[in-house]
Amino acid sequence: MISDDDIAAMSEGQRRDLIRRLAVPGGRRRWRAAVLVACAVLLVPWIGYLAATLPDTHVVRHWRLVWVGFDLVLLAMFVTTAVLVLRRRREAALVAFALGVLLVCDAGLDLLTTDRAGLWPALASAVLVEVPLAALLMTEAVRSLK
């Protein structure tokens, strides 16, 4: 921690250097925010293009690999979150939040890609397990960062 006395003892050049160093994160933050805004703006026409051109149905190769792979990612995130929580690491909040997002994606994809026979099990899984667990993980993650 730098005190007022430390700053007063600095030369003009040292103070300018300190100001420059302290100002860099704000500049990076604005640059990152600008990139995010640009991505959001560019995503709008892309969504329109997809809505206009994608077919209603599509045969997918490697269907089993996609779902098993996604569930393996979920497994890795559950294990990683548990290990970080047990070790009381602050990073647990970020991983838990990401796991919550993945669970919401899983519920949505299950519901949108199932046939009529699988609709009720997918809906039950989403409503009773995935979305409540995601909400718990995400709210606790945000709360722990305050």
Please spell the DSSP secondary structure of 107-131, one letter per residue: HHHHHHH--HHHHHHHHHHIIIIIH
Which residues neighbour 135 within 8 Å (Cβ) at sequence distance 6 or greater?
100
Which one has a higher pLDDT value, 32 or 89? 89
CA distance 93 to 75: 17
Which residues neighbour 18 within 8 Å (Cβ) at sequence distance 6 or greater?
2, 7, 10
pTM for this prediction: 0.75
What pLDDT digit, counting tens, does each position of 79-119 carry? 999 999 999 999 999 999 999 999 999 999 999 999 999 99
Output the average pLDDT for the chain.
92
Q: Are 85 and 92 in contact (CB under 8 A)?
A: yes
The region of weakest confidence among 6-10, 112-116, 137-141 is 6-10
pLDDT confidence band for 15 (50 / 70 / 90): confident
